Amino acid sequence: MGKNIAIAGVTGAVGQEFLRILEQRDFPFDSLKMLASSRSAGKKIMFKGAEYTVEEMTKDSFAGVDIALFSAGGGRSKEFAPAAVEAGAIVVDNSSAFRMDPEVPLVVPEVNPEAIAENKGIIANPNCSTIIANVPVWPLHKANPVKRMIISTYQAASGAGQAAMDELALQAREILDGKEPTISALGYQLAFNVYNHDSPLCDNGYNEEEMKMVNETRKIFSCPDIAITCTCVRVCVFRAHCESINLEFENPITPEQVRELLSTAPGVTVMDDRENNRHPMPIDASDKDDVYVGRIRQDESIGDNRGINLWVAGDQIRKGAALNAVQIAEKLL
């Protein structure tokens, strides 16, 4: 049975990916509203053979809407999501606005789908880096509790939006032409460079992205005591994040056991070809649904075979954002 769907922030990179995924997965709907800011109102978008007109999002936009997929930024989510709920919609919100609200489920469908039923009108989509880490770590944690996670991220320009992706391409052309690179959408030159993630630094010296990964993973896993530390950086890649994940388990575990657990884990593809030194790369994960996992090896610095290293790659716009939200919406159906 179809539902009446609204997409808030439809003209952005994630909004456009919502449309692609809804079409690819043949998501059943009776009607579709495309919402954006006033500057995008009136734009025409073709979807499944029909032309839609983008409407300006207001607090009156959600009458008759059953599910609203939001990717319009935290401020607009706080402003308009309560109005959508009041109108009877369930909001799946891609921003950080509600993630740590104890009344709001924070969901990765491969990890905690049961939390969806606890919603009071809003379900939060986790941070992209959190999702990409959680999908492969959860099946391991279920089999053998993880005591400590050390994560280093290599985050693509897509995490900062379409403007950042466009600027990365522009900067590369400018630098190769011997020109000064344009820096406006991004904080620094990203082409041929790596820098600390763009999010603000907290008092403890961690950036906000790092603290999101810590706090969100604890909430999604329902495991407030798990020790997590992160270093998040931006790298000159268009749209897939990579992460180095070091895990310390309660009990001994071998790389062979990890490979076996991940070989049947939902949303995971194991790419761990030591013989040919072939492991996940951003070009493997781009435009794909799964999180790719390789470099599976024992951490020999931790005694009793309780340590494992992983290297993962996942598409930031798909599984890190739009796909995860659509999977939540599918569960709501």
Question: CA separation (Å) from 34 to 10, 40, 276, 304, 310?
Answer: 6, 10, 46, 55, 39
The answer to whether 332 touches 325, Cβ cutoff 8 Å, is: no
CA gyration radius, the chain: 20
Q: Print the SS3 string covering 43-62.
A: CEEEECCEEEECEECCCCCC
Candidates 141, 230, 232, 241; catalytic one = 241
Structure tokens of 83? 């109005």
Catalytic residue at 128? yes
Give Cα 214 distance to the centre of its chain.
15
Mapped onto helix, strand or coil, the DSSP state of residue 321 is: helix
Which one, of 3, 12, 9, 14, lies nearest residue 316 by Cα?
Answer: 14
The answer to whether 159 touches 277, Cβ cutoff 8 Å, is: no
Candidates 128, 230, 232, 242; catalytic one = 128
d(CA 23, CA 46): 12
Mapped onto helix, strand or coil, the DSSP state of residue 17 is: helix
d(CA 62, CA 51): 20
Catalytic residue at 241? yes
As annotated, the active-site residues are 128, 241
